[in-house]
Amino acid sequence: MKAVLFDLDGVITDTAVYHYHAWKALGEKIGIEIDEEFNEELKGVSRTDSLNRILAKGNKEEAYSQTEKETMAAEKNELYKTMIEEMSPKDILPGIKALLDGLKERNILIGLASASQNGPTILEKLQLTDYFDEIVDPAKLKAGKPDPEIFLTGAKDLGVKPQDCVGVEDAAAGVEAIAAADMVSVGVGDADTLGKATKVVPETGALTVELLEEVWSEAVG
């Protein structure tokens, strides 16, 4: 294992819940209900694709102009930004700091493969930016998760082969993207939702360098 590519929202910090609340608020305004079950389909999915999925759920794909959709996405993002305003290192999920330290000690490269355009700001607030050897810019990608492009770009930027990487994800779309990139995946969360992952752990506290090395060795080595 030469590199680990991390998703951000729901893996490094619990911002997945803020995305959910911000979309839910927008949904209420336009009469589309977003519950936790539907929200699973939004996890890992870009802002624009999320809005399109929400509109499709309410059969309202054709109800708004492109400009109106851009305004709605911007409005959701403004609300989301107020929610992340006060974030600090106390918001790093359990086990993540120790994992990043362990990876650094072993000279294993660290990359960020998050669909979020707020990713770099959040890493700054968590004071984790310096751990990351590469941060993929999702604005430069042609396709979002479940397409493998974000993980393949991360591996390329780090100068490693996909087969030498482990990807860590909390979303079904993300696990699919890692698998399509021909990488070993570790899912964090519900085994039913993340069943396609090489290994699923219930929470971030279970993520250790030893575990990632073991999962990678068993799958590839």
Q: Site residues (CB under 6 A) for ligand BG6?
A: 8-9, 16, 19, 42-47, 50, 77, 114-118, 171
Among 124, 46, 139, 136, which Cα is nearest to 85's?
124
Nearer to Mg ion, 149 or 170 (CB): 170
Please say if 7 is a catalytic residue: yes
Pick one of Mg ion, ligand BG6, none as the site partner of residue 123 (Cβ within 5 to 8 A by kind).
none
Sheet of 134-135, strand order: 134-135, 109-112, 3-6, 165-169, 184-188, 199-201
Nearer to Mg ion, 117 or 217 (CB): 117
Phi-psi region of 168 (alpha: psi -120 to 50; beta: other; left: phi over 0): beta
Interacting residues with Mg ion (CB under 5 A): 7, 9-10, 170-171
- Asked whether 138 and 150 are in contact (CB, 8 A), the reply is yes
Q: Smallest distance from the beta carbon of 12 to ligand BG6, in angstroms?
A: 10
Classify the C-alpha dihedral 212-1-108-173 as positive or negative.
negative
Active-site residue, selected from the candidate residues 9, 147, 157, 164? 9
Q: Which residue is nearest to ligand BG6 (CB)?
A: 116
Q: Smallest distance from the beta carbon of 217 to ligand BG6, in angstroms?
A: 28
Q: Smallest distance from the beta carbon of 214 to ligand BG6, in angstroms?
A: 27
Please say if 9 is a catalytic residue: yes
Structure-token pair, residue 59: 């059969």
Collapsing DSSP states into helix, strand and coil, what is residue 167? strand
Nearer to ligand BG6, 43 or 199 (CB): 43
Nearer to ligand BG6, 14 or 213 (CB): 14
Active-site residue, selected from the candidate residues 7, 101, 137, 147? 7
Q: Smallest distance from the beta carbon of 142 to ligand BG6, in angstroms?
A: 16
| Cβ count within 10 A of residue 206 | 14
Alpha helices (runs of H) in the chain, residue ranges in sequence order: 16-30, 36-39, 47-57, 66-84, 96-105, 119-125, 149-158, 172-180, 209-219
Residues marked active site are found at: 7, 9
